[in-house]
Structure 1
Amino acid sequence: MKNIFMGPKINLAVPQPEDFDEISDWYADGNFVRNLDTAPARPLSGEDLEQTYRNLNRETEFYFHIRANDDDRLLGFVTLYNIDWHNQLGQLAIAIGDAEDRGHGYGTEALNLMLHYGFNELNLYKVCLDVIATNQSAIAVYQNSGFEFEGTNQRAVKRDGQRIDLYNMGLFAEDFQPRIKFN
């Protein structure tokens, strides 16, 4: 039987208490936070982040840390949340923390592992996400993994006095074509 949490380069892991201090460093990077969320950027302590994790609704949110297989280094996090079990829908969020770790395929691999998990383990019919229009690298990863544009919330995000669109993207289970080989 294959390990649904393990890919060629990364694995989806249980968050460890010591991880949250490292993630706190990522939240001190304004560019990281501003690409991750539409909320105002603000640093968060490791304690704040760990408390948020402890308060997750375990019935509707599945949150994992992304770790490198070769050295167990923390790379990022991925979550399926706001799961609507009746309609088999979920929302996805993903982030690779350190800029040096981006562009190496870790995000694509983690996204594909999480989509495989969502469609095959959680039996979701569709996974949706929102992405800020200026986050072109994330959009490319999502499109490469099969997500399609479903709508635009025009000028929904305000950054540096400018109004930016927020794209809504979705992927149906039957359209998911994994981009990685599962172990």
Structure 2
Amino acid sequence: MPRLPGTSVMLREYRRDDLPWIRQWVNDPEIVRQLSDIFLYPHAQEATEAYLEAMLEGDSDARGFVIADLATEAYIGQVNLDSIDWKNRVGKIGIVIGSTEQMGRGFGTEAMKLLADFAFRELNLNRLELEVYDFNERAIRCYASCGFVEEGRLRERLYRNGRYCDIVQMGLLKSDWKQAAGRN
């Protein structure tokens, strides 16, 4: 995949030297509590290595990018199209910022906008979708600022931190993306 430069971040290829950065967040409770239940249990080194190898070799259903500092190419996080339905032109997005120190600095918003541009212009997708937990207000604001709209809720679908939470379903259509930026 190509590199996609923004103003402060770029979306770049995965590298083997990203492993320590991925290992840093994959078992960090502050980060993974916002993510899917695949992070409910600790992830072994071998599991992280296998994931990275699959991304490097293209053996995964996911296609994605590392979110990296524009100047240094240092790992910040990752954003993936976890699955693409080519017949219906739909991509499902997963994103993570890999350290709490990097959160709230606009890197996720910029990465989402870069990915949407790539997905709609280069892959000719018609729709992007994602799920987010109702307590992850920062992420919901990020996605809304990128043009995603809430399309539904799976009420009390998730049990987290001693209570049942909603999963918010959000989507972005190519036509809305084009209209918002005056694209043709």
| Structure 1 length-normalised TM | 0.88
Q: Sort the Cα spacing of 1:174 and 1:136 in 2 relative to 1 into closer, same or farther, 3 A.
A: same
Unpaired runs of at least 5, structure 1 = none
Q: Sort the Cα spacing of 1:135 and 1:157 in 2 relative to 1 into closer, same or farther, 3 A.
A: same
Aligned amino acid, residue 140 of structure 2: I
**1 or 2, which has the higher helix percentage?**
2
**2:54 touches 2:60 (CA, 8 Å); kept in 1?**
no
- Worse-matched range after superposition: 53-62 or 101-110: 53-62
Which stretches of structure 1, 4 residues or longer, exceed 2 Å deviation after superposition?
38-47, 53-61, 177-180
Matched, 1:55 2:54: yes
Q: Which residue of 2 aligns with 1:173?
A: 174
Task: Give the whole-Å Cα distance in 2 for the aligned partners of 1:43 and 1:60.
Answer: 22
The Cα shift of 1:32 comes to: 0.6
The Cα shift of 1:118 comes to: 0.6
Q: Sort the Cα spacing of 1:46 and 1:39 in 2 relative to 1 into closer, same or farther, 3 A.
A: closer
Unpaired runs of at least 5, structure 2 = none
The Cα shift of 1:44 comes to: 2.3
Higher relative contact order by CA 8 Å / sep ≥ 6: 1 or 2? 1
Task: Give the whole-Å Cα distance in 2 for the aligned partners of 1:4 and 1:74.
Answer: 14
Q: Which residue of 1 aligns with 2:80?
A: 79
Matched, 1:131 2:120: no
The Cα shift of 1:4 comes to: 6.3
Alignment of 1:143-182 (within 5 A): 143-176=144-177
Q: Sort the Cα spacing of 1:6 and 1:41 in 2 relative to 1 into closer, same or farther, 3 A.
A: same
The Cα shift of 1:179 comes to: 9.3
DSSP 3-state at the match of 2:52: helix
Q: Which residue of 1 aligns with 2:8?
A: 9
Q: CA RMSD in A?
A: 2.2
Q: Which residue of 1 aligns with 2:23?
A: 24
DSSP 3-state at the match of 2:16: coil
Task: Give the whole-Å Cα distance in 1 for the aligned partners of 2:105 and 2:49.
Answer: 27
Q: Sort the Cα spacing of 1:142 and 1:33 in 2 relative to 1 into closer, same or farther, 3 A.
A: same
Q: Which residue of 1 aligns with 2:100?
A: 99
DSSP 3-state at the match of 1:55: helix
| Structure 2 length-normalised TM | 0.88
Q: Sort the Cα spacing of 1:81 and 1:39 in 2 relative to 1 into closer, same or farther, 3 A.
A: closer
Identity %: 31
Aligned amino acid, residue 37 of structure 1: S
The Cα shift of 1:164 comes to: 0.3
The Cα shift of 1:58 comes to: 5.4
- Worse-matched range after superposition: 157-166 or 51-60: 51-60
Aligned amino acid, residue 20 of structure 1: L
Matched, 1:142 2:170: no
**1:24 touches 1:43 (CA, 8 Å); kept in 2?**
no
Task: Give the whole-Å Cα distance in 1 for the aligned partners of 2:40 and 2:89.
Answer: 31
